[in-house]
Structure 1
Amino acid sequence: MVWEVLKDALDRRAEATGRDTLDVLDTGGGSGSFAVPVAQLGHRVTVVDPSPNALFALERRAAEASVADRVQGVQGDVHGLFEVVERGGYDAVLCHGVLEYVDDPAEGVRNAVEALRPQGAISLLAAGLGGAVLARALAGHFTEARQALTDPSGRWGEGDPMPRRFTADQLIELVGQSGVEVGAVHGVRVFADLVPGVLVDTEPGALDALLKLEAAAAELPAFHSVATQLHVLGEKRR
């Protein structure tokens, strides 16, 4: 679902600029799960990631996909973003799975937005609070579910591997304060993490039906509060 939304946003941006090839920045892009498909659309992609191993995997993946000439990997992070990339030099910025781990999410969003050209698109994907609360409760860990619900960072305990989670309102506020006009909010993995895998693997047509259900629920605000991840798509105001 995120890929389809992102692809549509890139197509609209290309049409608005009159350029078939966009400059795209993928912060925390790792081994290129989004960067390489974006490059396959014909765009130039710069991936900023702190892990040398991830960047090595990115280089290999880009070569295997025959887009090595359109993908550049740079070691760095979103807090020191402008030490390694140009400010205001990109038509679109991806910030997927980053805000959960940075010390200052607000600064991370500001830097991502400042890397955009005017009217550039930003795609933000982060862990959702409601999905974690629901998952712990359904597993019978009711105390942990309540802890996640009341914890400022949305963590269910010291053993929680996720440093931070967000509500849809928190993400919207973060991007709004950074000069972004929010275009759409999507709930991601609303049902997928709750459905027993055996049902999807053995029931004929179950996977396709589940994907269609996820797509149907993604933009409905009622389901944002129970999504495992939240996706925000926006446009820089100026």
Structure 2
Amino acid sequence: MRPRASLRTAVVWEVLKDALERRAKTADRPALDVLDTGGGTGNFAVPVARLGHRVTVVDPSPDALFALERRAAEAGVTDRVSGVQGDTHGLLDLVPPGEWDMVLCHGVLEYVDDPAEAVRNVVGALRPSGALSLLAAGRGGAVLARALAGHFAEAQHALGDPDGRWGAGDSLPRRYTADQLTRLVTDAGLRAAAVHGIRVFADLVPGVLVDTEPGAMEALLRLELAAAEEPGFHAVATQLHVLGERG
């Protein structure tokens, strides 16, 4: 049975694998150089390294980087994973600019002081043929989640708040619409090759239905994959993913 938690990354992982495969063929190099900003303990970095690519993780937390090192060792990819302490603000002082085939920026823009600067910096790290995988929290998903939980005033607050926050107790500083994320990517000089709604249904379906019904987990994953590229579902997705490319 597929772990329920894997639904949170399944769509992004499928998009990422396809993008890496296409870039490796175009570059005629089986091993690409991948930069994972805010990559933490290696949820994406280690699986990417297991595909044979070289991954550098930039993260402000020394504890996360220590866990990354341990995780890479357990997966047998220590020689293809390295960690650097830092963040997107000083990114181009930490890693060589213009030398990365793919940059991952997942769960970063919610927290940075200047999202536009962060995107410009990660784009500055890319090779001319490089691609950006950008993942951030969706505003509409938070509105829907609060409403379905019966917190109607909080849902309305999130709907009208410039940062998509539902109140003072909200732990997330910022959420985005698909248009906002796309604009950040295009303003930094890339085109938005694809936009995906992530966790459109997974966070709304009661766990008991998925965990007890035979085949329900795989069926829900297929539904998530089918709905991800449908623009009509982007407005209610928990997260939004943009694949940015040059040209």
TM beyond 0.5: yes
Structure 1 residue aligned with 2:105, among 86, 95, 103?
Answer: 95
Deviation at 1:182, TM superposition (A): 1.0
Q: Share of identical aligned residues, percent?
A: 76
Structure 1 residue aligned with 2:130, among 114, 120, 131?
Answer: 120
Question: Deviation digits for residues 2-60 of structure 1, max 9, x if unmatched?
Answer: 10110100010011111111110000000001001111111110000000000000000
Distance between the aligned counterparts of 2:68 and 2:94, measured in 1? 17
Q: Partner amino acid for 2:82?
A: Q
- Aligned position for 2:141: 131
**Runs of 4+ residues over 6 Å off in structure 1:** none
Q: Give structure 2 stretches of 5+ with no counterpart.
A: 1-10
- The alignment's C-alpha RMSD in Å is 0.7
- TM-score (ref. length: structure 1): 0.98
Structure 2 residue aligned with 1:180, among 190, 196, 210?
Answer: 190
Structure 2 residue aligned with 1:77, among 67, 83, 87?
Answer: 87
Distance between the aligned counterparts of 2:159 and 2:122, measured in 1? 28
1:20 paired with 2:30, answer yes
Q: Helix, strand or coil for the counterpart of 2:225? A: helix
Distance between the aligned counterparts of 1:210 and 1:107, measured in 2? 36
- Aligned position for 1:206: 216
Distance between the aligned counterparts of 2:51 and 2:206, measured in 1? 35
Deviation at 1:204, TM superposition (A): 1.4
Deviation at 1:126, TM superposition (A): 0.3
Contact kept in structure 2, 1:188 and 1:227, CA below 8 Å: yes
Deviation at 1:236, TM superposition (A): 2.7
Q: Give structure 1 stretches of 5+ with no counterpart.
A: none
Contact kept in structure 1, 2:92 and 2:124, CA below 8 Å: no
Q: How many residues end up aligned between the 2 structures?
A: 237
Question: Deviation digits for residues 138-164 of structure 1, max 9, x if unmatched?
Answer: 111111101101111100000001110
- Aligned position for 1:152: 162
